[in-house]
A and B are shown apart, each in its own frame.
Chain A
């Protein structure tokens, strides 16, 4: 059925007011919200019933890496957002740059996991660390997914219709904003509270 055109892939359907991609990404994010909602519910339940929870998460985790990671994440989201407004050459550059920043984020994350586990701070050491590793790994997997999607969208800049690329960038922007939101929740849950 390659020959048949699927309607509303890039343009809006008049009566629903959205394109397929826009509706799709919102539904996907709803599903993702349930995923992280469940993880943070587990966090809340296990933390409230925990007998030994560290007084300060920051004291265990340190704050050096986390500032770099936060900056990388927020900067890359801004770049993806701006890619929609740039001319097509700059658009590709910005998508690739933001993919590079995602790679930096993952690098920092890997380094953090490595140094922590070298100090003997493992998922099996305490409930706090178990939750920390699991939730941040879930988040990092989403950064990796976004990285791949960025590269995929960058590849399409030259070959595809502009409307399709713009739709993808719009979806990517929403996705990265969601990833940022989860990151903020992680900061609050493990560093602030």
Chain B
């Protein structure tokens, strides 16, 4: 296996292992945060003393480092872990196999997209070793704070630029491959739903990322060349008026960011729908219910996701006319998502379900995604979003979508296609432990967030709101969340051990261990 390979399978695996590594790092960041929130005055066990004086005092996280961990957790999980795993790894490995193509349409561009992704990730991470540390303005990098943050923010923007280039190259490749290299007889409506999901995802990445790429360059100009694209006139920082010419608009960044940011939500979830649909089709031993409706819904989501972005911005005072428009589009876009989940749910009806490990992850995806989706509706309406904005409720909402939602689907995919990649099966007992442990732990972490958020707790409080009497009764919930996070970490060890042990020692699987009828198991 060559390092600089142009083979789609090798590149797929490179994406898989790199993104899993970033997933683990992103998880360790938040583990530190959860521990700190539960015991804000205690030293962080094991690593607290090793992090150095710029990051901790006597092992306790400093506020600056707390913010870096939070910002980089979000960045790693969204840009470097979940999307590359769902799109780069599963897409690259499986698309050519599922449509009967010899490889991706542009193998060298495919390799380029992986190496740009890796470079982008590393450039972002370099921030931790710069003076002032890594990016600390949240994964959304809102100016004016991001404009005046320490050097790590410039590294973040540079990394984002590389990632956007990588995703543009990758998505052109995916679309051309799917449109051009389908085997004779595979019409569009005969493609597996997985392929449709990847196709729509690629269009979203292709068209939504460039505006953020442009915005990243504008923010770099603000930081390096002294422009004021996102800096208003007369901004006061640390009791000093900034000397820039001003006239810029922080809201402009929010528009450009969320123009990617919202389609990005569907970039996370559509590949997950694709994987779950394949696994459910397999464990129920029958075709999907409502394939055509699912395809139509995915395409409709693709279009609609470009006109809902400002529902992240109700608090900017956009006025009732704009607000009404984005509320209506947001309510409309929830319909196709519900159609897809309902179709998957109805696909179970009448099936002789096999509760395999990938099957369990796929089945748990449905209610978890449902919970995340339904709790999103109050956030799509301005009247209820305004009090909930920036509270833990929002964090709970999107973590249900991404963690026991998308991530469960990705785990399902890993367990399901592992035999296709290696010819061996993953251990069933370790897989069961991984599943049940993760399910319990994730609910233990994310469910209390709804209650904390409804009580009005802001998502960014360094001390977990202990300086407010209002939140006195919530100390216990932080402790529970911290132990749940520890449990989540422990059960991931089962997964890691299982993954590497099964590579060499797993039971041999034969050509088609799940008795699947789809093309990727038949291709060599």
Contact = CB atoms under 8 A, between A and B. Distances in A.
B351 interface: no
B180 A123 contact: no
A127 B102 contact: no
Contact of A28 (B168, B179, B180, B245): B168
Given A46-B248, A122-B226, A123-B226, A8 B206 contact: no
A20 B217 contact: no
A9 B173 CA distance: 12
Interface bracket on B: 35 or more
A8 B180 contact: yes
B47 interface: no
B226 A34 contact: no
Contacts of A122: 225-226
Interface string B169-182: 00111011001110
Contacts of B105: 6, 9, 20, 24
Contact of B245 (A34, A36, A124): A124
B207 interface: yes
A124 B173 CA distance: 39
A31 to B, nearest CB: 5
A119 interface: no
Given A6-B103, A32-B210, A124-B227, A134 B176 contact: no
A1 B6 contact: yes
Contact of B215 (A38, A52, A126): A38
Q: From A2, A8, A36, A42, name the one whose CB has the most chain B CB atoms within 10 angstroms.
A: A42
Contacts of B208: 34
A163 interface: no
A52 to B, nearest CB: 8
Interface in B200-238: 206-211, 213-215, 217-218, 221, 225-229, 233
Nearest to A42: B252
A27 B218 CA distance: 24
Contacts of A5: 102
A6 B102 CA distance: 6
Interface string B228-262: 11000100000000001101110010001001000
A34 B176 contact: no
Contacts of B249: 45-46, 49
A127 B218 CA distance: 12
B107 interface: yes
Given A34-B207, A49-B249, A27 B172 contact: yes
A35 interface: yes
B217 A138 contact: yes
Contact of B225 (A34, A49, A133): A133
Contacts of B172: 24, 27-28, 31
Q: From A27, A122, A138, name the one whose CB has the most chain B CB atoms within 10 angstroms.
A: A27
B245 A4 contact: no
A16 interface: yes
A2 B179 CA distance: 22
Interface string A1-29: 11011111100010010111001100110
Contact of B180 (A13, A126, A127, A130): A13
B7 interface: yes
Nearest to B105: A20
Contacts of A7: 102, 180-181
B168 A31 contact: yes
B132 to A, nearest CB: 22
A31 B218 CA distance: 18
Given A46-B252, A124-B225, A35 B211 contact: yes
A39 interface: yes
A107 interface: no
Contacts of A51: 233, 247
B378 to A, nearest CB: 30
B106 interface: yes
A126 B106 CA distance: 43
Nearest to B10: A1
B141 to A, nearest CB: 16
B269 to A, nearest CB: 21
Contacts of B175: 23, 27
A30 interface: yes
A37 interface: yes
A125 interface: yes
A185 B6 CA distance: 38
Interface in B53-103: 101-103
Interface string A74-94: 000000000000000000000
Contacts of A42: 214-215, 218, 229, 252, 256
A50 interface: yes
Interface in A114-146: 122-127, 130, 133-134, 138
A26 to B, nearest CB: 9
Interface of A: 1-2, 4-9, 13, 16, 18-20, 23-24, 27-28, 30-32, 34-39, 41-42, 45-46, 49-52, 122-127, 130, 133-134, 138
Nearest 9 Cβ contacts at the A-B interface: A124-B226, A38-B211, A35-B210, A130-B227, A34-B210, A4-B102, A38-B214, A123-B225, A1-B7
23 contacts: A1-B8, A8-B181, A23-B176, A28-B168, A31-B168, A31-B172, A31-B206, A34-B207, A35-B211, A35-B214, A38-B210, A38-B256, A41-B211, A45-B252, A46-B229, A46-B252, A49-B247, A50-B247, A123-B221, A124-B225, A127-B245, A134-B221, A134-B227
Interface of B: 6-8, 101-103, 105-107, 168, 171-173, 175-176, 179-181, 206-211, 213-215, 217-218, 221, 225-229, 233, 244-245, 247-249, 252, 256, 259
Given A23-B180, A122-B225, A134-B217, 6 more contacts: A24-B173, A35-B211, A51-B233, A123-B227, A127-B248, A133-B227
